[in-house]
């Protein structure tokens, strides 16, 4: 019988090479630990990106790691508008490390992936992040004295982004409700339903009050 090569061997080898690079950056030989940190980085960064940006970055990954990257992804819920503090807490929890160790761990993964991806690809991903979060992903922890100011500013920006998203959804609901063929006109009932849906969205997101 002719020996048949393992069809998954190359994919596994590529994933192992990427994992080894991340483990080297983390200064560990524990592949399980390195995988846990890498998986956490991939999921948190993925969820902060738009669908298009997430898919574009995912295409850079080896096949097996691409499966890990998309595990549990819900495109309809992204981008998740989280800030530096939320990122630190969740990274520490998922990776099983202390919050104080998150910048170094995240920075090691970023450095490893940056060397493996196409030139400029990771820089493009990081450029889409808020400044404080990008700093942490690059291994720079916010100074203790700056954390309250950064957190307050991030909260204000997050609120503005949240309201902008609500307004965008409301406008989309209005436009969808008024869509008709070129030779037809929207009815009063259609207009009222579209306006009610837009109002509901704005109320739900806190963009307006009753």
pLDDT tens by residue, 91-127: 999 999 999 999 999 999 999 999 999 999 999 999 9
pLDDT beyond 90 at 65: yes
pLDDT in tens, 135-186: 999 988 755 545 555 556 656 666 666 666 667 766 666 666 656 544 555 5
The residues, any chain, with a CB within 8 Å of residue 40's CB and separated by 6 or more, are 90, 91, 94, 95
Question: Using an 8 Å Cβ cutoff, are 106 and 136 in contact?
Answer: yes
Mean predicted confidence (pLDDT) in 70-83: 92
Question: Using an 8 Å Cβ cutoff, are 87 and 133 in contact?
Answer: yes
Calpha distance 50→78 (Å, rounded): 6
9-142 fold: Globin-like (1.10.490)
- Mean of all residue pLDDT scores within the chain: 82
Q: Determine the pLDDT at residue 175.
A: 66
The answer, as to whether pTM is greater than 0.85, is no
- In the chain, residues under CATH classification 1.10.490.110 are 9-142
Closest CA to 95 of 33, 42, 138: 33
Please spell the DSSP secondary structure of 53-115, one letter per residue. Answer: HHHHHHTTS-HHHHHHHHTT--GGG-S----HHHHHHHHHHHHTS-GGGHHHHHHHHHHHHHH
Q: Determine the pLDDT at residue 134.
A: 92
């Amino acid at each position: 019988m002719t020996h048949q090569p393992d069809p998954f061997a190359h994919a596994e080898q590529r994933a192992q090479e990427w994992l080894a690079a991340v483990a080297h950056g983390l200064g560990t030989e524990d592949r399980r630990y390195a995988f846990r940190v890498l998986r956490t980085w991939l999921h948190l960064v993925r969820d902060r990106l738009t669908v298009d940006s997430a898919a574009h970055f995912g295409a850079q990954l080896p096949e097996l790691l691409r499966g890990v990257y998309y595990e549990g992804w819900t495109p309809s819920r992204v981008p998740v508008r989280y800030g530096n503090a939320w990122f630190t807490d969740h990274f520490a929890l998922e990776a099983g490390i202390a919050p104080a160790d998150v910048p170094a761990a995240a920075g090691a993964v970023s450095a490893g992936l940056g060397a493996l991806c196409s030139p400029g690809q990771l820089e493009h991903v990081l450029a889409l992040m808020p400044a404080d979060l990008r700093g942490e992903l690059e291994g720079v922890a916010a100074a203790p004295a700056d954390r309250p100011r950064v957190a307050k500013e991030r909260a204000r920006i997050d609120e503005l982004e949240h309201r902008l998203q609500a307004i965008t959804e409301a406008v989309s609901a209005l436009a969808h409700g008024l869509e008709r063929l070129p030779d037809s006109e929207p009815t009063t009932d259609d207009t009222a339903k579209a306006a009610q849906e837009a109002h509901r969205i704005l109320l739900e997101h806190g963009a307006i009050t009753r």
